[in-house]
A and B are shown apart, each in its own frame.
Chain A
Amino acid sequence: MAYPSQRTRLLQGLTVATVVLFAIALYLALFWVGPERTQGEVQRVFYVHLGSFLGAFLSFTATVVAGIAYLRTRHPKWDTLGLASVEIGLGLSAITVITGMTWAKPIWNTWWTWDPRLTSVAIMWLAYAAYLMLRSGIEDPERQRRFAAVYGIIAFASVLFTIIIVRVRPDTIHPVVAGPTQADPTGSFDVTDRIRDTLFFNLFTFAVITAVLIWHRIRLENLVQRVSRRKMELLAEL
């Protein structure tokens, strides 16, 4: 209702572009790039695995930015961004975990292992699930926004932990893509040019997907809030 039609058209255009991008990314990952020599077809999962983790990381970074901005400006729009980015981040990191599990079964011969990397991602997921619990547990809306902002900032510690744990503790069997590789990863592979190009295209696509999903989630939240506000006003009038 209140949105400039220009911005709505931009969102619609971006959404269509994202669908196209995603289709191309899937084509690259599933058909264009050949199967990896030592790992076989299951290696194709890796593009989505890394892409969705990048998306989750961007989302949770947005949560921190939104938290700081909310505490500074006290504008509810930042709280909406915080909520939207946490929800999208939870979904994307769920994709990371589940694709990782389907990859680990043939390569590591187990769905799950209490490896530092896997453990820390599970903790990260729980921390942001707790964020949603905190929101639903506090009734006063102003305090809810304030506490959510604070917890959204604190919870980022678990994201940092996920990223640095493999540097501090190289006894993980999880392959490290960026940065120094540890002594004995299980399931790393040689990166050919095609694999690299496909990976970068997927990373870019997932970054765009994340932004578009958060944008749509913000629109939903604005609508929900407007409806509940109007309902309250209507009830007050009766």
Chain B
Amino acid sequence: MSAEPTATSEKTQAAAPARAARQRPVTRYWQAVGAIAWKDLRAEIRSRELINSMVLFTLMTVMVFSLALELDSDARQNVVAGVLWVTVVFAGMLGFSRSLAAEHDRGSLDALLLAPIDRSALFFGKMIGNLLFVLVISFVLMLLLTVMFNISLIEPLLVVMLLLGSVGFTTIGTLIASMSVHARARETLLPILLLPVSLPLLISAVRGSAAILNEMPSEDWLPWIQLLAVADVIFLAAAYSLFGFIVEE
């Protein structure tokens, strides 16, 4: 717990008076965030390109898992948390690279950078768009696995787990995807960069979800939820203070 959180808190303190000096900073900031998220959402509602392919991808992944692992009912109980999270992670990665690559190729990110808004507002706008997308996939997966694996995944605790995991994963995913779009082999670089950093999240989420699904006592899943929450805060703070350095040009 040494250098990283200290640095981010210093950055936040430095940024705070600058923003307070501006007129009505809070509403402006969140308006910008909302506008960017809404822009992505509207484009997606119109084309339905990403969500259709992702739902199909999710369906196929679940089928591949059940065929490859030859799951009987006992085995399903044990691996369902892993199947859930691995599918979310892979589908999410496809989504992040699409969302940022489209922005980069059209050059619309450069146009957004010219707008007089805080760089981090740009980040949170993109991130909320991606988060909605990951949440839709998670929701579809919950229904799908409940039906196909015959295990009820619709539990409030698991929803909390999914929310916390998705927030952390989307934050770090959006941040890293905005770097990897500049690389030569961006499709291969994104998983290489993103997986090691998000594996702590993934492990906590899988272990925690498995404990919840197996109806273990709270001391078996509570530490994982706490770890997820701490990781979310660290990643959000890191993204808030670092995104400006990625997009500056």
Contacts and interface: CB of A to CB of B under 8 A. Distances in A.
A and B touch in the complex (CB under 8 A): yes
Chain A binding surface SS class: helix
Contacts of B199: 123, 126, 158
B238 interface: yes
Interface in B166-206: 172, 175-176, 179-180, 182-185, 189, 192-193, 195-197, 199-200, 203
Contacts of A126: 195-196, 199
A199 interface: no
13 contacts: A61-B2, A61-B3, A130-B196, A140-B182, A146-B245, A147-B179, A151-B176, A157-B4, A160-B234, A161-B200, A164-B227, A165-B200, A168-B226
Interface string A160-172: 1100110011000
Interface stretch (A98-106, A131-139, A229-237): A131-139
The 7 closest A-B pairs by CB, nearest first: A127-B196, A137-B183, A126-B196, A64-B3, A161-B200, A123-B199, A147-B179
Nearest to B249: A143
B242 A150 contact: yes
A153 B192 contact: no
Interface in A107-125: 116, 119-120, 123-124
A71 interface: yes
B3 A158 contact: no
Chain B interface mostly: helix
B241 to A, nearest CB: 9
B109 to A, nearest CB: 14
Contacts of B200: 120, 123, 157-158, 161, 165
A221 to B, nearest CB: 21
A157 B234 contact: yes
A64 B172 CA distance: 17
Nearest to A149: B245
Nearest to B189: A137
A225 to B, nearest CB: 21
B7 interface: yes
B50 interface: no
Given A61-B2, A154-B176, A157-B231, A169 B223 contact: yes
Nearest to B234: A157
A68 interface: yes
Contacts, number: 102
Interface in A60-118: 61, 64-65, 68, 71, 116
A156 interface: yes
B115 to A, nearest CB: 21
A214 interface: no
B246 A146 contact: yes
Interface in B86-116: none
Nearest to A143: B182
B179 A134 contact: yes
B120 to A, nearest CB: 14
A64 B7 CA distance: 9
Given A124-B196, A139-B184, 15 more contacts: A61-B2, A61-B3, A64-B4, A120-B200, A129-B196, A133-B189, A134-B189, A137-B189, A146-B245, A153-B7, A153-B242, A154-B197, A154-B242, A156-B4, A157-B200
A123 B196 contact: yes
Contact of B197 (A71, A133, A138, A157): A157
Contacts of A153: 3-4, 7, 238, 242
Given A147-B182, A153-B238, A68 B196 contact: no
A137 B245 contact: no
Contact of B182 (A68, A138, A160): A138
